[in-house]
Amino acid sequence: MSNSAFTTLRKFIITAICIALTAGYAGAADRSPMSDASRGYLTSATAPDSAMLLPPPPATGSAALALDEEISRDSQALKDSPRWALATMDADLTFPAAAGAFSCALNAPVTEQDTPHLYNLLRRVFADTNQATSRAKKKYMRSRPFVANGKPSCSPKDEQFLKTNGSYPSGHSAAGWAWALLLAEIAPDRADAILARGRAFGQSRVICNVHWESDVMEGRFMGAATVARLHGDPAFRADLEAARAELAAVRAKGAKPARDCKAEAAALAEIPPNVPWPANR
């Protein structure tokens, strides 16, 4: 096969997988960011303070920064791959797209129609993790990998904003890990699949070239800190129980995710040979 023919075939396969992954959202009308009605459970006074909890990001010349740079560089092997396509989907934190990120791991749909309590719970928890990571982001204003290495990101339309938004810690990773912890609590029989997806959701940010590995790791820490704080809130606990009952009912009916879960699993299995653990998911 000639180089041109191989390139054409590769582009066709990647495009087909992207279409399969996104098919469940093709008719979605609500693509807007969270409304005021989906505010979080916590306040600025009760949310975890990332500026106090986190150490500074890796310093220039440190071994930690060298590792960040190595993982970032090696992760570029996934550019334009099915895993890159999934990472691009994971970058979208608007609803309803974000609500479906864990549907394959749950083996159940997560939509405003099927699971309204769970849908709103995820939106509100996202607001809380966003608040929990904001202070360290503003304090350190760490530059993004695509700024440092000049390579493309999977969110070119967002790059101008991302340049003005601190990279450390990763807000996406905080949200994804918080969601994973809560969903594993709601559906313990699916916990391993859910937690693996939560890990991959954060790692998508490295693959997208918009976060460093240390951003993702500390984002997960802030996600866990947020969940710990949320469990002290009565309104959150009530909504969590309502979401648990709701999901159980949907699963009892045998409802299935709208996503192509086989395509998602194949994308998650794609590992570049030179990327060290833990960045290879």
Catalytic residue among 114, 215, 239, 260: 215
Catalytic residue, chosen from 123, 172, 199, 259, is 172
Per-residue confidence (pLDDT) for residue 21, from 0 to 100: 44
> Which pLDDT belongs to residue 234?
97
**Which whole number is the average pLDDT over 120-132?**
97
List C-alpha distances in Å: 168 to 77, 78, 110, 120, 256: 23, 23, 29, 27, 36
Q: Which residue has the higher pLDDT, 10 or 91?
A: 91
For residue 117, indicate whether it is catalytic. Answer: no
Superfamily of domain 3-268: Phosphatidic acid phosphatase type 2/haloperoxidase (1.20.144.10)
Radius of gyration of the chain (CA): 19
Q: Of residues 199, 211, 251, 259, which has the active-site annotation?
A: 211
Residue with tokens 């460093």: 212
Chain segment 234-280, per-residue pLDDT in tens: 999 999 999 999 999 999 999 999 999 999 999 999 876 555 545 44
Provide the whole-model pTM.
0.85
Task: Name the active-site residue from 135, 144, 205, 251.
Answer: 205
Q: Is the dihedral of CA 136, 140, 141, 144 positive or negative?
A: negative
What are the domain boundaries of the chain?
3-268
Segment 48-55 shows an average pLDDT of 98
Per the annotation, the verdict on 211 as an active-site residue is yes
- Residue 215 is among the residues annotated as catalytic for this protein: yes
Predicted local distance difference test score (pLDDT) of residue 238: 97
What pLDDT, in 10s, does the model give residues 19-40? 444 443 333 323 333 343 469 9
Higher pLDDT, 149 or 13: 149
